Amino acid sequence: MAKSLLIISRQAPWSGPSAREALDIALAGGAFDLPLGMLFLDDGVFQLAPNQQPALLQQKNLAANLQALPMFGVEDLFVAASSLAERGLDPDGLGLPVQVLDDAGLTALIDRFDQVVTL
């Protein structure tokens, strides 16, 4: 049986290529039909903030690429409730269908996967 991999994305979409490179790991694994999950943690939750205008920062829009996750078979998407709360983001108004996890839920999630990559 294939080993499962959880990708933890911790960087904001405007803070360099890290968010995009975490997403690329997920999309590449999805193309191989691997059992993957993706967790948005810490500043990574800013990737889910709606109505962003990255063009004002002369950046590409990551949101469109994030939308590709379910199409690549990556449907296990999670976000840390505490990270959202710390940054004043509404769990009900996010740009992607994600499961909101409390701290106990995060521990159980990480435990559930064979391997974890944090970017």
Pick 59 or 99: Cβ nearer another protein:
59
Pick 53 or 58: Cβ nearer another protein:
58
The token pair at 72 is: 């690549």
Pick 34 or 89: Cβ nearer another protein:
34
119 CB burial (10 A radius; 0-12, 13-18, 19+): middle
Least distance CB 100 / another protein (angstroms)? 26
* Beta-carbon count within 10 A of 58 CB: 6
Least distance CB 42 / another protein (angstroms)? 12
Residue 83 CA to residue 101 CA, distance in Å, equals: 10
Pick 21 or 86: Cβ nearer another protein:
21
For 97, the 3-state DSSP assignment is coil
Tokens 């999950």, residue? Answer: 37
Query: Which residues of the shown chain bind another protein in the complex (CB under 8 A)?
Result: 2-3, 5, 17-18, 21, 24-25, 28-29, 31-32, 34, 115-119
